Amino acid sequence: MREAVAFWVDEPGAGVLRPQRLPRAGERDVLVRTRWTGVSRGTESTVFLGRVPASERERMRAPFQEGDFPAPVKYGYLNVGVVEQGPEHVRGRTVFTLFPHQSAFVVPADAVVPVPPGVPARRAVLAGTVETAVNVLWDAAPLVGDRVAVVGAGMIGCCIARLLHGVPGTDVVLVDVDPSREEVAERLGVRFAQPGDVPRDRDVVVHASGSEAGLRLALESVTTDGEVIEASWYGDRPVTLTLGADFHSRGLTIRASRVGAVAQRRRATRTPRDRLALALELLHDAAFDALLTGSSSWRELPAVMAALAHGEVAALCHTIDWEDAT
């Protein structure tokens, strides 16, 4: 048996580092030593603050979560590490796993996906977020030359904007209330606008701000007969929309995109593992480094998670360094 260190939400708004005993790895298992984890700020803040609705607690479970919402719970899904024990084809490889914040862990070998050569380990923590962006694009199905807005320049919104940048002829505008996101948009190769300056001619609008005001802006920005792809998750926060104005007369559509299942347009031909492997390949693109906006030691994780959840740290993807934890 081996002991690791794991981050738990001990109670809503309070995190703690706990020792974690690891089982012996079987023939079809791998023992992974974590190098980096990433904080998926929107979802993990919702979990940290205990705001997962009772109706969604089963659907919201992470693949290797321990405990139950609201707390105590071990939650997270952006983990990059090195396989120390396991089948020969993965032994010694850097891998991505949908595992929480923990210094080492044992999982079935088919739960890890090798990070392609040339993709830095720290950048690879974005794989889960890019995977979400891939699913959103499969749902949105943008066409050559489309005018697109992405409302919300968080991790997911920025990843969506970068992938849209690669569609020939598209005019992509990344929208956020924070003017400092303009520099990030520039590094991602897309235009930036604050809410009052968003063009009102968008063929497709992706909403990823997680706010009621953002969804209203998305509906105002899409063209007649256009579609808003809803990529936000609101937790237990209610959302009120004014659908008695021009929603019907303009023939607008709001469609949900979810990462829990492969987008319907690709569900018959792609598996979740295919989608994740594609996301890792897309991370050869160094422009994604614009999202890596902070880093801390694993020892600071309880304080860092609290600061991120309460908006005291302006970060996109804050990474956690586990190099000296085992």
Instruction: Write out the DSSP string of 169-187.
Output: T-EEEEE-S-TTHHHHHHH
Q: Tell me the percentage of the chain whose pLDDT exceeds 70.
A: 99
**CA dist., res. 306 & res. 226, Å (int):** 39
- With beta carbons less than 8 A apart as the criterion, state whether 201 and 149 touch: no
Assessment of whether the complete model's pTM goes beyond 0.85: yes
Task: Place 59 in a pLDDT band, splitting at 50, 70 and 90.
Answer: confident
Where do you find CATH 3.40.50.720 in the chain?
A: 129-266
Average pLDDT for residues 262-286, to the nearest whole number? 97
Kindly report which listed range (118-127, 251-260, 291-300) carries the lowest average pLDDT score: 251-260
Residue 112 has pLDDT above 90, yes or no: yes
Question: Quick one: pLDDT at residue 302?
Answer: 98
Question: Quick one: pLDDT at residue 233?
Answer: 81
Work out the mean pLDDT of the chain and round it to a whole number.
Answer: 95
| DSSP state string for 77-109 | --EEEEEEES-TTTTT-EEEE---SBSEEEEEG
Question: Quick one: pLDDT at residue 42?
Answer: 84
Average pLDDT for residues 168-193, to the nearest whole number? 97
Tens of pLDDT, residue by residue over 9-44, are 999 999 999 999 999 999 999 999 999 999 988 889
CATH 3.90.180.10 fits 2-118+284-321, yes or no: yes
Task: Place 253 in a pLDDT band, splitting at 50, 70 and 90.
Answer: very high
DSSP label of 58? T
199-212 as b/e: b if 16+ CB within 10 A? eeebbbbbbbbbbe
Where do you find CATH 3.90.180.10 in the chain?
A: 2-118+284-321
Question: Quick one: pLDDT at residue 238?
Answer: 85
Question: Quick one: pLDDT at residue 326?
Answer: 67
Kindly report which listed range (27-31, 53-57, 165-169) carries the lowest average pLDDT score: 53-57
CATH number of 129-266: 3.40.50.720
Residue 168 has pLDDT above 60, yes or no: yes
Task: Place 237 in a pLDDT band, splitting at 50, 70 and 90.
Answer: confident
Question: Quick one: pLDDT at residue 259?
Answer: 87
The helix or strand, by DSSP H or E, that contains position 276, with its residue range, turns out to be: helix 272-282
In terms of Cα–Cα distance, which of 140, 240, 237, 126 is closest to 188? Answer: 126
Residue whose tokens read 């190098």: 35
Residue 235 has pLDDT above 80, yes or no: no
Question: Quick one: pLDDT at residue 1?
Answer: 56
Q: Tell me the percentage of the chain whose pLDDT exceeds 90.
A: 89
Task: Place 91 in a pLDDT band, splitting at 50, 70 and 90.
Answer: very high
Question: Quick one: pLDDT at residue 234?
Answer: 81
